[in-house]
Amino acid sequence: MNKAELIDQIAKDSGITKTQANDALEAFTGAVVSTLKKGDTVTLVGFGTFSVSQRAARNGRNPQTGETIKIKASKVAKFKPGKDFKDKIAGVKAKK
């Protein structure tokens, strides 16, 4: 599913226009990015947690030449799915 298909699905499921769905999706992604930029996490109970992890500097290898190269330290975004999310993907029914 690409972004346009996701917007179509959101609009259809929620009964709003595609423009409104696009605005909502942009607002959501913008809020997640700005929160992660500040170093905070975004937790959606039952869905998952978005966070930032620090990746240490390390040595790598150029696959074409075999030459050793230095890879700089960087920040990477991570997503850890919640239990409900994992259960739905695996087809497990929730206990009542």
* 2-22: pLDDT as tens digits: 999 999 999 999 999 999 999
Looking at residue 94, its pLDDT comes to: 59
* Average pLDDT for 60-74: 94
For position 68, which CATH number holds? Answer: 4.10.520.10
Count how many domains the chain has.
1
- 96 located within any domain: no
Residue 2 near residue 25, CB atoms below 8 Å: no
> Would you say residue 46 has pLDDT above 60?
yes
Q: 14 is in which domain, residue-wise?
A: 3-90
Give the burial class of 94: count Cβ atoms within 10 A of its Cβ; 0-12 exposed, 13-18 middle, 19 or more buried. exposed
Looking at residue 91, its pLDDT comes to: 82
- Separation CA 54–CA 83 (nearest Å): 25
